[in-house]
Structure 1
Amino acid sequence: MLEHTNTSNFPNLFIPGAAKSGTSTLHDLLNQHPDICMSNLKEPYYLVNDNFEDRIENYNAKYETLFKHKPKALYKGDSSTSYMLFPKFIESVKAHVTSDVKFIFILRNPIDRLYSHYWYLKGLGSETLDFRAAIENDKDIEPDMSKKLPEGKFKSYFQYGLYGKWLEKFYSNFNANQIKIILFEDLKEDPLKITNNCISFLELPPIEHLSDIKSNPTVILKYPKLYTSILRFTQGSMKSMKPLYKLVPRGLKTFIKKHTSNFIVKATKTSKTYPDLSLSDRKWAQKLYESDVERLKKITGNDFKPWKDFN
């Protein structure tokens, strides 16, 4: 941790697991502990932004705002899911975060995660390709911030599920006692037990009960093109609208970014559910991941029993 920069408000807990694996749920569950303060912006992505090294003091101030609801908490947590696989994250943590930092990874059967991620973006209008074509489209491209879609989302469906590949880097750079792995399937089965397992890992007293929380469901919208267009405008990434975007006051831009997405989803979501994954597509995806799951088992010593496709 560098001496000449102020990082006093930086997190000492990260949930850097993959998208569509229950990170939002775990984030909200851990936040119910009085000694844990999870950021009020769930995915700030600060540590992987291109300007991070040049604006550390600024990000320290931003983190202070994210944790202001529990300033005396023993743990301050950031759940930016892409941290698991984005370049610069481990390097930034080692340089600027306390040496006793903790990581909790929540992992989901990579086949189910893959399909959910695909339909999450397809339902919002950010994906037009069929399932296999979409997976193959960027299968070998490692994601980073430059791969963010204009509306602020990420694809790289296949790479997100290569847990063995990405976790090996964490085990090579940190002590095993700084890393906790839980499974989405176990959390769904017994939320209190698994949440308290995480709390025990942090050496904090358990909690007796959990309040109900809203998960982050995959939805299918009535007007997905409208949704993506509005998101692109709020991100300032629509070329034709940039002159207008520049005229919008900064405070209004921040408000729009914060509230527009949820509002549109609530207003235009349908009751439709995405179709079940076909057996042939499941077997196809299983073959894509089988070698990485074996790698993951060796790295962690876990047999991942709930993942029946790989046992």
Structure 2
Amino acid sequence: MEKITKTNFPNLFIPGAAKSGTSTLHDLLNQHPEISMSSTKEPFHLVKDNFQFNVDKFNLKYQALFNNLENIKYKGDSSTGYMLFPNFIENSKTHLKFEKKFIFILRNPIDRIYSHYWYIKGLGSESLDFKNAILKDKNIEPTINSMLPEGKFKNYFQYGLYSKWLEKFRSNFDSKDLKIILFEDLKDNPLDTVNECLRFLNLSELSTLNPVESNKTVLLRHSYIYKNVLKITRSKFKLLKPISFLIPTRIKNNISEYIFSKTKSNKKYPKLSAEDRLWIADLYKDDVLLLKKNTTIDFSKWTDFNHYV
């Protein structure tokens, strides 16, 4: 059999940060005729433990996720864990021997961590109160093995240490291939912000965008039902594994989406208290100061940190 050429792998990554608008940016970039973002938003293929031994297998897995028309210049993967997981940089440098672009979308880390917490809690996967949940794994760096059985990640604090993780990319890739944008800018001016990304990719700009708002943090009614459906579809119940493997992935995804749609509520999660907001700002201030020092981006919209110098 002829050896598979590794042409199906993505050359555009949105590695993070989680709960910062990565899903929305993923869907907006996918509107460009020369970009094909993966049909599964977070495949996590490049950080799988067996990736280096099964490169050709993952090449085929990627093939199924992209539009492979000749005019496509960028195939994109928005697995947010790539920003943190230690083997992503190693695997991408070792096995993807072509030019790659990285777009990081960052959100005020206070708002990001609170949304992350309520996202997990709203899905029924967090029992601790906010402060104790943050402190529980505050100093633990996540890996792909940190994934919960239902496919989600905690490690709330670590996901917001932007400067820490960006430094690893700056040390391993050319600065011309790295682009940072802000969630707040994407929210306020989506077309301008997307076109800024397209200029970075040397692609034609768009005159209009179809509005999207993806992966919003929601509170579910009877969240335990959705949580257990995710576990079943991900083959995490030993007794049900044989049955789960017989069900096509598309059908399992449709089941999960259906249960989600039927259990989501219109309830809003409570506003973060001023006291907790100051507490989180103090935890992140050093990292944000480094971020300001090492980039030329205007972070004035992160008003919690404007008085830190």
Equivalent pairs counted in the alignment come to 304
RMSD over aligned Cα atoms? 1.4
Residue 301 of structure 1 is aligned with which of 296, 306, 309? Answer: 296
Displacement of 1:299 in angstroms is 2.2
Distance 1:294 1:99, change over 3 A: farther
Contact 2:235 2:245 in 1 (8 A): no
2:281 aligned with 1:286 = yes
Distance 1:154 1:256, change over 3 A: farther
2:96 aligned with 1:97 = yes
Indicate the residue corresponding to 1:277 in structure 2. 272
Q: Distance in 1 between matches of 2:31 and 2:97?
A: 23
2:126 aligned with 1:130 = no
Q: Distance in 2 between matches of 1:222 and 1:94?
A: 43
Displacement of 1:29 in angstroms is 0.6
1:15-58 alpha-carbon deviations (Å, 9 max, x no partner): 00111100010001111111111111111100000110111101
SS in 1 for 2:194: helix
Q: Distance in 1 between matches of 2:70 and 2:212?
A: 23
Displacement of 1:5 in angstroms is 6.7
Indicate the residue corresponding to 2:181 in structure 1. 182
Q: Distance in 2 between matches of 1:122 and 1:73?
A: 38
Contact 2:151 2:230 in 1 (8 A): yes
Indicate the residue corresponding to 2:42 in structure 1. 43
Indicate the residue corresponding to 2:262 in structure 1. 267
The AA in structure 2 aligned to 1:225 is Y
1:62-113 alpha-carbon deviations (Å, 9 max, x no partner): 1111113645301111100110001110111111224421000000000000
Q: Distance in 2 between matches of 1:27 and 1:66?
A: 13
Distance 1:69 1:7, change over 3 A: closer
2:244 aligned with 1:245 = no
* Further displaced range: 15-24 or 212-221: 212-221
Indicate the residue corresponding to 2:11 in structure 1. 12
Distance 1:285 1:102, change over 3 A: same
Indicate the residue corresponding to 1:197 in structure 2. 196
Between the two proteins, what is the percent identity of the paired residues?
57
Contact 2:109 2:284 in 1 (8 A): yes
Q: Which runs of 4+ in 1 moved over 6 A?
A: none
| Unaligned runs of at least 5 residues, structure 1 | none
The AA in structure 1 aligned to 2:286 is S
Contact 2:19 2:112 in 1 (8 A): yes
Distance 1:154 1:185, change over 3 A: same
Q: Distance in 1 between matches of 2:201 and 2:243?
A: 47
Q: TM-score by structure 1 length? A: 0.94
Displacement of 1:244 in angstroms is 2.8
